[in-house]
Amino acid sequence: MSGVTDSLVGAWVKGKDTSPAFENYEIIQELPQGGQAIVYKAIHKPTKTHVAMKILLPTLVASTRARYYFEREAELIAGLDHPNIVKIRDSGIIHGQYFFVMEYIKGQPLYRYVEAQNLSFRERIILFKKICEAVTYAHQQGIIHRDLKSGNILIDERGEPHILDFGLAKAIGMSELERKDAMPTITGQWSGSLSNMSPEQAAAKPELIDVRSDVYALGMMLYHILTGQDPYDVTGPVLEVLKNIQGAEPVRPGKIIRKFDTDIEAIVLTAIDKDRARRYQSVAGLQSDIENWLAGRPISVRSISTLYLIRKVIARHRYVAAVVGLLLVIILSFSFIALDLYLTARAAQRDAEAISKQWTEKAVQLEKEQRKTLSIVAPLHFTNILELLRKGRIAEAEKSSRIFAKDSREFIATIFLISPQPLKDKEAEFRRRIGEEQVRFAEFVIGEHYLKDRNKEQALNAYRNSFKALQKIRGENKPAETWLANIVQARLYELTTADEKTGLFSAGEPNE
């Protein structure tokens, strides 16, 4: 088969059609390729539009793992619909050769574009915000990119970014073993490019990789487009680079560029914090602070002191601030108009009180937005807790659960699973606290309890009950319910036989 595919690819490069399956495409040129695929620029003859055709390397066709991730990349891109994420148009197999066709983006990689266009500081921040919006959308659809870097973000002629290459992406809440013949993404390997790799990726700890790994990669991008360099050395021997990623402290941007904006510096350093718990807990949180900075509002990672608020107000209302300054000069120079200036000062005080009230309301709004973000992150965090419990790391699981509110279902479930009491002594109280409207979640947790006790039959019954309850709410597109549907099916897939799997999933998934 390798000989066939080698000759097929070679013929395409020369512009020949070797099969009717490709008669609608004319290959123009080879584009820069990754480690596992060749990418060609081509013309779709019926519409006379340019496309990009990605073809799995012939030497990797025999690899089950390579084929799986190539097919999965096409599936993940097909499920995304965002103007700043590349779209897929076609896919298939010809003569054993795997391929898919995407829209062609005529543009430059992020770093090259920023330098070539000589963008201002603010223009670079605005461009970065658009990238954050696209990644936030992908996360809301349950997809972590895991390989965000300059080469995977092309900026077109209109200045719009496009995210490419989802070859290392992962669906949130799902095991890497999504298919029977699939291979793990990383087992003692590194996934992602070294330049923007997060510490947890550098440490080869796949169980720690989540949306915060994409936050880290985005922080590295922002650092580079604003300073022109990386926060620590990412060149040289691989082991030395991996060591730097995990332990080297980043150089503060203010030491590279004089008078570097302190708010942006705080945003960047929070995004690339080595400790995941101290980073932004989602790209949405990072995006929110970028938007706050662009609008002249306080950011969440700076303590809101009186002096800080005054500085933000002055920066946002420069004209008013200049007028007040002029009035102060008049007070010192012309004391005979003291009364008039006194009345002006009283008016300014009322304005300051109104502004203070406004920022208080903004702080309340920010807190609400953080709670909304937690509702998206909570399922992923609870998945990590379940993994800790299955490994017997009770203390770590209990510590991790403190991120949840004490009345949340995830916190109640964690305490229930940690409790050493027999199931019959604690099940009724657990179900009462969870509530009847959460019976699908309660049944799943009961299944986890049985699975922890190695009671496969009872665990299967509980998972099936949860599956039936989920089918009754088909159509809901809430992140928490999508996560629950995915993990319940994953558990059933692990515990059932091949014949049972056919019967179980033939009717469709509960959340399509």
**pLDDT for 276:** 93
Which helix (H) or strand (E) element contains residue 162? strand 161-163
**pLDDT for 180:** 39
**pLDDT for 127:** 97
**pLDDT for 322:** 58
Nearest-angstrom CA–CA distance, 340 and 157: 56
**pLDDT for 17:** 43
Measure the N-to-C terminal CA separation of the chain; round to a whole number of Å.
37
Q: Which two tokens stand for residue 432?
A: 């009462």
Question: Mean pLDDT for each 10-residue chunk of the chain (512 residues)?
Answer: 42 45 79 77 91 86 82 86 92 81 92 95 97 96 92 94 88 55 38 79 90 96 96 90 92 94 95 95 96 93 53 53 62 65 66 64 56 66 86 87 86 90 89 87 90 88 88 73 85 76 51 44
Q: Which CATH class is domain 2-103?
A: alpha beta
Nearest-angstrom CA–CA distance, 455 and 77: 39
**pLDDT for 314:** 54
**pLDDT for 226:** 97
* Homologous superfamily assigned to 107-174+187-294: Transferase(Phosphotransferase) domain 1 (1.10.510.10)
**pLDDT for 59:** 80
Distances 28 to 11, 31, 209 between C-alpha atoms, Å: 12, 10, 39
**pLDDT for 177:** 45
Is 107-174+187-294 the same fold as 2-103?
no
**pLDDT for 215:** 97
Catalytic residue among 6, 81, 147, 156: 147
CA–chain centroid gap for 281, Å, is 10
Q: Kindly list the domain boundaries of the chain, sorted by start residue.
A: 2-103, 107-174+187-294, 377-505
Burial of 367 per CB tally in 10 Å (0-12, 13-18, 19+): exposed
Convert 456-487 to b/e letters by CB count within 10 Å (16 or more is b). eeebbebbbbbbebbeeeeeeeebbbbbbbbb
Helix, strand, coil share (%) of the chain residues, nearest 5: 60, 10, 30
147 labelled catalytic = yes
pTM of the model: 0.57
> Would you tell me which CATH number, out of the four given (1.10.287, 3.30.1490, 2.30.29, 1.25.40), belongs to the domain 377-505?
1.25.40
**Half-sphere CA count of 241, side-chain side, radius 13 A:** 15
Nearest-angstrom CA–CA distance, 65 and 451: 29
